């Protein structure tokens, strides 16, 4: 399964590199990669488009999709709730609020001291915002060692509403330049993808790959209940802390680079559970691969549907994810009625 998903990701990446406002056929794509063949002027243009625009964007899309999908899979396993997703329960909104506050308030403070806001500060701020939102949500939904699904969802809506209210206030006081930057976070876009932003995602991807083997068994046993998982030898509290920090870190990094992009974390893990089952040993790495593929497809659609303009990728993922989420809600309602 993982091999098939890897091949699918590679094929999608090749397709994404070929299509766009400046199309590059497969033969010219290969020539641009190896740096020889064909007309010199065409080769130079293709290399410029490929290495300066397409490949950085593909790398960022792969990183963002993988991080958002694995964050959703971990949240669903930790809360034992198939409706959990960072964008739906306020985690992404918390990260977005922290990023927006850094753009508006941090930019003004640094400008007053004669400095420019460094981009590297945004992932740190987004991580802190996502961490606070996740901790608040966990505190609201958990009582007596048990997590209420209903309170979890309602608490997530409240956290998201508070964060969105804060973002609205920041939009109100922002100047024109700051307003454009904040709007970028609200809609979600990969238009500003660069190699520097792609490299920022690498430590978070490495952290996810290293932590997954340490939490996969615990998440499997946690599905039986916290008491049962504890008696089976799982350090439940440590598992929760590790999962919360990882979800906050990867969600914060994704939001800092691309803005708030919803529904990837709920669509991908649920599809994979239907295909390969709930075992997290396969589910978590498979979520990273399929999430990267889905994000690449969404970004490619965002680039070509309204060419030469570009549609925000958050709109594409919402168009895909919202009907899926409604169908999942209806299915949950049917199950609850039995």
Residue 60 has pLDDT above 90, yes or no: yes
Residue the block writes with tokens 């350090």: 235
Here the tokens at position 268 are 């991908």
Residue 337 has pLDDT above 50, yes or no: no
Spatial CA neighbour of 212 closest among 9, 2, 35:
2
- Average pLDDT of 185-191? 78
- pLDDT tens digit sequence for 208-260: 999 999 988 888 888 887 778 888 888 887 888 888 888 888 888 888 788 78
In this prediction, residue 288 carries a pLDDT of 93
Q: What is the value of pTM for the model shown?
A: 0.83
Q: At residue 211, what are phi and psi to the nearest 5 degrees? A: -85, -30
- pLDDT tens digit sequence for 292-323: 999 999 888 888 887 777 788 888 888 887 78
Indicate the burial class of 310 (C-beta count within 10 angstroms; 0-12, 13-18, 19 or more): middle
Indicate the burial class of 207 (C-beta count within 10 angstroms; 0-12, 13-18, 19 or more): middle
Tell me, rounded to whole angstroms, the distance of Cα 192 from its chain centroid.
16
Spatial CA neighbour of 87 closest among 99, 102, 75, 100:
75
Polymer length in residues for the chain: 338
- Average pLDDT of 69-91? 82
The answer to whether the CB of 163 falls within 8 A of the CB of 88 is: no
- pLDDT tens digit sequence for 90-147: 788 888 888 888 888 877 887 777 777 676 677 788 888 888 888 888 788 777 766 6
What does R_g of the chain's alpha carbons equal in angstroms?
Answer: 21
Whether domain 55-326 has CATH 1.10.3470.10: the reply is yes
> HEC string of 177-197?
HHHHHHHHHHHCCCCCCCHHH
In this prediction, residue 44 carries a pLDDT of 80
DSSP secondary structure string for all residues of 49-70: HIIIIIHHHHHHHHHHHHHHHH
Here the tokens at position 116 are 């420019």
Partnered with residue 147 across adjacent β-strands are 142
Give CA–CA dist 174/171, Å, rounded: 5
Dihedral (CA of 40, 41, 44, 47) sign? negative
Of 112 and 275, the structure prediction assigns the larger pLDDT to 275
Ordered by start, the domain boundaries in the chain are 55-326
Give CA–CA dist 290/327, Å, rounded: 20
CA dihedral 12, 18, 22, 27 (to 10 degrees): 180
Residue the block writes with tokens 């970028």: 184
Pairing of strands 146-147, 142-143: antiparallel
In this prediction, residue 164 carries a pLDDT of 87
Who's near 53: CB < 8 A, 6+ residues apart? none
Here the tokens at position 176 are 């024109």
In this prediction, residue 317 carries a pLDDT of 84
């Amino acid at each position: 399964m993982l091999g098939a998903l890897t091949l699918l990701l590679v094929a999608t990446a090749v397709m994404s590199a070929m299509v766009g406002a400046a199309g590059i056929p497969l033969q010219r794509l290969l020539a641009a990669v190896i740096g020889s063949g064909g007309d010199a002027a065409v080769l130079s243009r293709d290399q410029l488009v490929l290495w300066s625009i397409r490949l950085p964007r593909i790398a960022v899309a792969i990183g963002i999709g993988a991080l958002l999908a694995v964050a959703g899979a971990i949240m669903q396993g930790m809360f034992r709730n198939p409706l959990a997703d960072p964008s739906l329960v306020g985690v992404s909104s918390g990260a977005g609020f922290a990023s927006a506050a850094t753009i508006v308030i941090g930019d003004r403070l640094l400008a007053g001291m004669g400095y420019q806001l460094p981009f590297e500060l945004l992932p740190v701020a987004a991580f802190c915002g996502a961490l606070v939102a996740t901790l608040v949500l966990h505190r609201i939904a958990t009582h007596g060692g048990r997590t209420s699904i209903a309170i979890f969802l309602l608490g997530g809506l409240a956290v998201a509403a508070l964060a969105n209210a804060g973002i609205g206030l920041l939009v109100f006081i922002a100047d024109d330049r700051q307003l454009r930057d904040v709007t970028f976070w609200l809609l979600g876009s990969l238009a500003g993808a660069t190699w520097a932003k792609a490299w920022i995602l690498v430590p978070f991807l490495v952290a996810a790959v290293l932590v997954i083997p340490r939490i996969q068994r615990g998440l499997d046993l946690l599905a039986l209940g916290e008491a049962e998982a504890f008696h089976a030898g799982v350090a439940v509290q440590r598992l929760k802390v590790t999962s919360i920090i990882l979800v906050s870190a990867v969600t914060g990094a994704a939001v800092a680079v691309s803005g708030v992009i919803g529904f990837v974390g709920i669509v991908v893990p649920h599809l994979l559970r239907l295909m390969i089952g709930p075992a997290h040993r396969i589910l978590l790495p498979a979520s990273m691969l399929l999430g990267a593929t889905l994000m690449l497809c969404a970004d490619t659609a965002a680039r070509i549907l309204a060419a030469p303009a570009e549609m925000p990728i958050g709109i594409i993922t919402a168009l895909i994810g919202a009907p899926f989420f409604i169908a999942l809600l209806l299915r949950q309602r049917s199950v609850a009625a039995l």
